[in-house]
Amino acid sequence: METEKLYYADPFLKNFTGKVLSCDAVKSGWAVVLDRTAFYPEGGGQPADQGSLGGVNVLDVHEKDGVIFHICEKPVEIGEIVAGILNWARRFDHMQQHSGEHILSGILCEAYYCDNVGFHMGADTVTIDYNTDISWGQALEAEQRANDYIYADVPIEITYPSREELKSIDYRSKKELTEQIRIVRFPGADCCACCGTHVLRSGQVGLVKILSCQKFRDGVRMEILCGRRALDFLSKTWEQNRAVGRRLSVKLFDTAAAVERLEGELNAAKVQQTQLEDQLFACIAAEQAGKGNVILFQPFLRPDGVRRLADAVGRTCGGLAAVFAGEGRQYQYALLRADGEDISLLVKELNTGLKGRGGGRNGLAQGSVQSDKAEIEAFFKQHS
């Protein structure tokens, strides 16, 4: 016997009672069948409801041949009348996402002659795939129209037309449906075959926000959020921007410009740092002139700084210039022989002996080691 689907008669039904017809142990718990239910099973891109039956947690709900199975944490008594309570926040969120998706898809598919070829309601965002290229500007235009439609608070219409009536209805459908077709119409925005639960009026969607629109297969994949979930997301990003604004002492709409300015300042500082380093490295190179093999320890330097110092010293010392920059057991190194003599064997032994990684060619090698200053010095004493 098919389960009576109370969620179709009243999608806002949060509590109900039903008679337990069967309760069977399954892999993930107990599969409970009632004579009627307000629990929506997973389907049409909309996830299953959760809640409780007779005080027992309902973890998942699915449908097979018109019968709805509630996967419960514990068994319930067959023949008993149990109270069903939906996790309403979860269900209403699904209705906001689902109805919002219909409104946006209806508007987009009509404007850009495309189809919605994928729909997934994830725990974080909702993704929709369209089989045509849609630019970010076009997406935002459709978003605005979808929100205007939401503000207009249009009542939605759900009908079960006959096969004959269906022929004269222009509706979107992801696949050929063989059973009784349920048409969900958002008048003026969308008309689509759908088995999901929807809000009663477009205003209940609250808002639609497109988060991204990226090339996917032969079209685009959009990430969207609707209703409270969209508000929560936007509130979080707003908090983030507010924190950035406070750190930079600028107004909310000036954060991007302020970051750009900081970037410019940072780049200028890096150029100046390089100039100062070069002066310092020239002094060190002059000090080490003619000393043969040289090993130098420096505090932290950027990787290209380590190489530039080895380069400067290597040109004057007349032997191998080994530069180690860092502290403790973490050093970046650069080895250089200005005469271009092969140092690959030395580098190999250094990597083995000093727990390092790195390499190079033509008399230059770069890498890092996990050894302290004494161990590094002992290694070079052995290898000189």
CB of 225 to Zn ion, least distance (A): 16
Using CA atoms, how far residue 241 sits from 35, 140, 211, in Å, is 51, 21, 16
Q: Are strands 318-327 and 292-298 parallel, antiparallel or unpaired?
A: parallel
8 Å CB contact between 95 and 202: no
8 Å CB contact between 76 and 54: yes
| Token pair of 353 as six digits | 């002996």
CB of 45 to Zn ion, least distance (A): 6
Of 52 and 173, the one with the shorter C-beta distance to Zn ion is 173
CB of 196 to Zn ion, least distance (A): 4
Using CA atoms, how far residue 188 sits from 99, 148, 153, in Å, is 14, 12, 12
Of 97 and 351, the one with the shorter C-beta distance to Zn ion is 97
Of 120 and 291, the one with the shorter C-beta distance to Zn ion is 120
Of 161 and 353, the one with the shorter C-beta distance to Zn ion is 161
Number of H helices, E strands in the chain: 9, 20
Of 100 and 196, the one with the shorter C-beta distance to Zn ion is 196
Exposed, middle or buried by CB within 10 Å (0-12, 13-18, 19+), for 34? Answer: buried
CB of 119 to Zn ion, least distance (A): 7
Which residues make up the interface to Zn ion (CB under 5 A)?
Answer: 194, 196
CB of 166 to Zn ion, least distance (A): 17
CB of 3 to Zn ion, least distance (A): 20
Of 46 and 255, the one with the shorter C-beta distance to Zn ion is 46
Q: Which residue is nearest to Zn ion (CB)?
A: 194
What CA dihedral angle connects 226, 231, 233 and 237, to 10 degrees?
140
The residue whose two tokens read 């319930």 is 76
CB of 221 to Zn ion, least distance (A): 17
8 Å CB contact between 208 and 104: yes
CA angle centred on 164, ends 158 and 168, rounded to 5°: 70
Of 227 and 314, the one with the shorter C-beta distance to Zn ion is 227
Exposed, middle or buried by CB within 10 Å (0-12, 13-18, 19+), for 108? Answer: buried
